[in-house]
Amino acid sequence: MIYDVRHLTTVRYAGLVRLARFNLRLKPAPWPGQILHDYRLSVDPRPTSVQDETGPFIVNRSRLTIRAPISRLSVESRFRVEVTAAPLPDPDTAPTIDQVRHRALTRNDLSASGPATYLYASPIAAPSSEIAGWALPFFTPERNVIAAGRALMEALHAEFRYDGNATQIDTPPVEAFHHRRGVCQDFAHIMIIAARAHGIPAAYVSGYLRTLPPPGQEKLVGADATHAWVNLWCGDEHGWIGFDPTNAMIAGTDHIFTAMGRDYSDVAPLDGVFHGGAGQEMEVSVDVEPVG
């Protein structure tokens, strides 16, 4: 599939922001099966400085400084992307939970795509014995990891209600877990906590979904904004496989990868230090259009 993606963020401040120093993590990082064309980032007002870098996870970061006083900030990220999906491996050939757990601990790989990086608690995905207990039935040692991941994803989809008003951006995942409600970000964090509790490396993926469904199919949930799902590490051979608990599907050609980190905080589309400003209002619009 080829998509044209346009992601527009507009922030209005109640007071003047005299100095803004912030990070944007909007440009898709390289990912297997994905080819990026014509990336364009426009920021208004024009920043004093922009520096682009990659890492430290699978993420591109632009660091911006705006020194003039501003009351409004708008950021537009546009690109064309080609997505092909590798055929899903035969679940029966996938390693067991026990094997993955063992291999994640022994693999000599400290890189941003290695499993060790995604094995432990991270700033938002703090361990929770409740979530661990809830996920216990899915992670029996002899079960194959893809089947376990799918079962966990489906359970999340079945037991939790998608509700944009139930949580805020900084609601701890365990709270969303208690209410059995939330948005893609909450579901992804809960699934990450559950998998890590059983020793399976799990990563947070930010990205996009195609906005309009193919004819005759239902529109996917989370398509009007940035989306989030989970990568589980399924052993040396299969590597990372994307599980989308919001839509109960394996990530394929409907999913456009932007970045992968331990949780939301590693890949937040926008964060930084804004001096002044007081209150703010933000609008986000995302348009993902298939072009072929």
Contact set with another protein (CB under 8 A):
9, 11, 15, 18-19, 21-23, 55-57, 63, 102, 104-110, 112, 114, 116-117, 119-121, 123, 127, 129, 132, 139, 169-170, 196-199, 226, 265, 268-278, 280, 282, 284
Please say which residue, 157 or 167, places its beta carbon nearer to another protein: 167
Task: Kindly state the smallest distance separating residue 264's Cβ from another protein, in Å.
Answer: 8
Q: Least distance in Å: CB of 53 to another protein? A: 10
Rounded Cα–Cα distance for residues 89 and 9 (Å): 37
Q: Looking up tokens 């037991």, which residue turns up?
A: 159
Collapse the DSSP code of 78 into the 3-class scheme (helix H, G, I; strand E, B; otherwise coil) and give the result: strand
CB nearer to another protein: pick between 211 and 253: 211
Place of tokens 């804004």: 274
| 145, two tokens | 């990891």
Residue type (1 letter), 206: S
Cβ distance to another protein smaller for residue 37 or 40: 40
Say which residue the tokens 């989370």 belong to.
222
Specify whether the CB–CB gap between 235 and 145 falls below 8 A.
Answer: yes
Q: How many helices (H) and strands (E) does the chain have?
A: 7, 14
- 80, HSE (Cβ side, Cα atoms, 13 Å): 7
Smallest gap from residue 215 Cβ to another protein (A)? 31
Q: Least distance (Å) from another protein to the CB of residue 72?
A: 13
Shortest gap between Cβ of 55 and another protein (angstroms)?
7
Nearer to another protein, 33 or 55 (CB): 55
